[in-house]
Structure 1
Amino acid sequence: MKTKTAIATLAIVLGVSGHSFAADLVFTSWGGTTQDVQKSAWADKFAAEESVNVVQDGPTDYGKIKAMVEAQGTTWDVVDVEGDYAIQAGEQGLLEKLDFSVIDKASLDPRFVTDYSVGSFYYSFVIGCNKDAVAACPASWAELFDTAKFPGKRTFYKWSAPGVIEAALLADGVPADKLYPLDLDRAFKKLDTIKADIVWWSGGAQSQQLLASAEAPFGSFWNGRLTALAATGVNVETSWAQNITAADALVVPKGAKNKDAAMKFIAYASSPEGQAEMAAGTGYAPTNLKAPALMDPALAKTLPDQQTASQVNADMAYWATHRDEIGERWYAWQSK
């Protein structure tokens, strides 16, 4: 009896009562409301099913991933990254190949699947406007760049990534099917016409604050942030005209200590059920093609995968190849 009591006590101390012990699995993402939903929709449920403690970390940092891998000291197991980075990092040897005997990719949107990544969610850059702050709202990229018809500040994503370059070219009349290769000279010339009126947002929460306060009463936003802002009572108008899609991806950094558990976590997160709950909580589109059937039809109709009439798909492979050179020019232009 004493022996059994001692073993039980030790099990409680180790946190393994009734289950075999498993090391913590570290999931890293961007923080904010999106990671909150990733935790509730994926991490908490996966932890309960697999008896694995899922630790949240963040924000995602590409420099840190590179440093950890090169130092052979990887501490992150699954990371939410931008889609173009996932392609580039895989090519650079910074990621583990995914195990598709564990991860079922049969129903995953093939646009967001590589040897090293699967889609976490996908979103659209759309035009958002605080209707209570202006007389009229821009409904196209051309109108968002028209400071005569729509005077005042406008807001755009600060970082070098798919979205703003494409919007500038579309505003300047480039047909959607002729965007690539990106004409950077033309894009920056167009951006110069509104540069003095741009307020940059570096994260989703900041973009919402800028719109709600009317510091920037219109601009380019992640669609899910506008959905969430409208739910708080802000009078938001969203234009889906030529909405520009991009995606986040789930990856496993090279040398991850819990690689097997990481593959199971990604399998859960990319399942129809995991993707349906993630989409319902964020307003971003699921990357599993079976997920919409599990969702409230009224909600499913509001997501980017239903806004395809004039939708523009950002070319993740192009961005992966040219990510560094575009970034160098982008930040040089911003600093002028």
Structure 2
Amino acid sequence: MFEIRKASKSSGAKSTSRRDVLIGGTAAIAAPYVLSTAAKASDRLVLVFAGGSTQIALEEAIVKPFTAETGIPVTIVNTIDMAKLKIQVESKTTEWDLFDFVGPALMQAGSQGLLEKIEPDVFKGTAMFENPSPYMVGYGIYVGGICWDPARNPKAPRTYPEFWDVKKFPGRRGLRMRASETLECALLADGVPPKEIYPMDLDRAFRSLERIKPYVRKWVEQTQQTVDLVQTGELDFSYTYLNRTKAARDAGISMDFSQDQLVVYGSYYVVPKGAPHKNAAMRYLSFLLRPDRLADYCRRVSVIPGNLKANEFLDEATRKSLPDVNNPAYVVLNNAWWAENFAKVEPRFKEFVLSSR
């Protein structure tokens, strides 16, 4: 579960409830820690990121200002490949400096020794949601839900039981090609209350997936495709993210998104073991968590800031548009459970998807 990081004496931050911070912001901003000048302009960072519209926001709000201030250029690559990360680290040929992904897979990577520990001073002056691992920086809280094109489908499922109801809502479905988030959706569809999702009843979750599997046209690997395939008409209803649908609507694309029942999860940066520019990577992370910079990014993509001090820099319209993660209809992804179970659940899920049954 997401919790506020306990403020250290050096940070000067006060402990605040999650609801208070999400709704109202905080009153004081502590100066961000500036890491060693050992991170220099010649250290070109390579950042692995999902791409799409969110990357544009990242470039404008974080990457370009970071380079302008430090002189350190950043190259973004869209190769979110955990197997490749493991090969690079184990062969001592690490090419990437920063890697952005979801918690369950990164928790396993940390336990396997594939990641660098984050310098504590990266968090100096912040009021963070509790990071689930010393290897991770939880910079943003995302939400996953159901999207559709209202021009083509004015009647659409708004909850996971409805998404599973193919008679009432006929159409081609899209789900993620990963166990985390997808199994949570399956249990919600089967009537499990959000607070009772964990510990997860895996057999029940896979039985639920069996019912919807014949109607899943696409198990989506690339995040941007969760909206693109709806836009092009290949899918009628898809699991996707608030930030992706916002970008589509901002571009004039017919797209709707239900906030009736959501999966809430953190997105995290990690530094791969042996990263060629580790010091510069830590400097980037410190810059990312600055309240004004992070708020600019989150405003552009409708994401709840991981450093809660950034809420003060969000305009009122943005704060009102963000979902309340305390909503009892939402399930918050449990990284601790996934850390213990990812290694056995993910292969089972992949085998299930690829099987002909």
Aligned to 1:80: 100
Q: Give the aligned partner of residue 193 of structure 2.
A: 175
The offset of 1:251, in angstroms, is 0.9
1:241 CA drift (Å): 2.0
Give 1:98 deviation, angstroms.
Answer: 0.9
Report what 1:10 is aligned to: none
Q: What is residue 31 of structure 1 aligned with on the other side?
A: 51
2:327 pairs with 1:308: yes
Aligned to 1:94: 114
Partner of 2:183: 165
Q: Kindly provide the amino acid, as one letter, of the partner of residue 225 in structure 2.
A: Q
CA positional deviation for 1:219? 2.7
Cross-structure match for 1:64: 84
Q: Could you tell me how far 1:37 is from its partner in structure 2? A: 2.1
Shift of 1:134: 2.4
- For residues 124 and 206 of structure 2, the distance between their equivalents in structure 1, rounded to whole angstroms, comes to 42
CA shift in 2, pair 1:55/1:229, >3 Å: closer
1:11-70 CA-to-partner distances (Å, cap 9, x unmatched) read xxxxxxxxx753222222122222232222222211111122222233222122212211
Instruction: Report if aligned partners of 1:29, 1:58 keep a CA contact under 8 Å in 2.
Output: yes
> What secondary structure is seen at the aligned counterpart in 2 of 1:324?
helix
Q: Give the counterpart letter for 2:337 in structure 1.
A: Y
- Ranges in structure 2 where 5+ consecutive residues have no aligned partner: 1-39
Change (3 A) 1:102 1:124: closer
Q: For residues 34-53 of structure 1, what are the structure 2 equivalents within 5 Å?
A: 34-53=54-73
CA separation of 1:307/1:226 partners in 2, compared to 1, >3 Å: closer, same or farther?
farther
Partner residue of 1:118? 137
Work out the CA distance in 2 between the residues paired with 1:188 and 1:31.
30
**Does structure 1 retain, via aligned residues, the 8 Å contact 2:51–2:224?**
no
Superposed counterparts of 1:91-240, under 5 Å: 91-104=111-124, 106-110=126-130, 112-157=131-176, 159-200=177-218, 201-240=220-259
Deviation at 1:244, TM superposition (A): 0.4
Supply the distance in 2 between the matched residues of 1:215 and 1:307 (Cα, whole angstroms): 34
Deviation at 1:303, TM superposition (A): 2.3
Identity of aligned residues (%): 32
The answer to whether the 8 Å contact 1:119/1:270 transfers is: no
| Counterpart position of 1:247 | 266
- Unaligned 5+ segments in structure 1 are 1-19
CA contact (8 A) 1:145 1:171 kept: yes
Structure 1 residues 305 and 263 mapped into 2: Cα distance closer, same or farther (>3 Å)? Answer: farther
Letter of the structure 2 residue corresponding to residue 334 of structure 1: V
For the residues of structure 1 that align with 2:212 and 2:346, how far apart are their CA atoms? 20
- Following the alignment from structure 1 to structure 2, what is the Cα–Cα distance between the partners of residues 53 and 208? 30
SS at 1:249's partner residue?
strand
Which moves more between the two structures, 52-61 or 289-298?
Answer: 52-61
* SS at structure 2 position matched to 1:215: coil
Contact 1:120 1:287 in 2 (8 A): yes
What is the rounded CA distance, in whole Å, between the counterparts of 2:216 and 2:148 in structure 1?
A: 14
Measure the CA separation in 2 of the matches of 1:118 and 1:203: 22
| Residue number in structure 2 paired with 1:13 | none
**Deviation of residue 308 (structure 1)?**
3.3
Give CA deviations for 1:208-232 in whole Å, capped at 9, x if unaligned.
2222233322232111111122223
- Counterpart code for 2:280: A
Residue 5 of structure 1 corresponds to none
Query: Is 2:41–2:73's contact at 8 Å kept on the other side of the alignment?
Result: no
CA deviation vs aligned residue, 1:194-216 (integer Å, no higher than 9, x gap): 21111222223322222223332
Q: Deviations over 1:134-181 (max 9, x none)?
A: 251212111111111111212211x22421111111111111111112
Kindly report the root-mean-square deviation, in angstroms, between the aligned alpha carbons of the 2 structures: 2.0
Larger Rg: 1
* CA–CA separation in structure 1 for the residues paired with 2:251 and 2:340: 40
More displaced, 142-151 or 236-245? 236-245
- CA 21–308 in structure 1, closer or farther in 2 if over 3 Å, else same: same
Contact 1:124–1:223 (Cα < 8 Å) also in 2: yes
Change (3 A) 1:213 1:52: closer
Runs of 4+ aligned structure 1 residues displaced above 4 Å come to none
Give the distance between the partners of 1:277 and 1:305, measured in 2 at CA: 20
Between 160-169 and 197-206, the greater mean CA deviation after superposition: 197-206
CA contact (8 A) 2:50 2:223 kept: no
Check the 8 A contact 1:285/1:305 in 2, yes or no.
no
Q: Distance in 2 between matches of 1:189 and 1:153?
A: 20
- TM-score, normalization by structure 2: 0.82
CA contact (8 A) 1:122 1:284 kept: yes
Q: Alignment length, in residue pairs?
A: 315
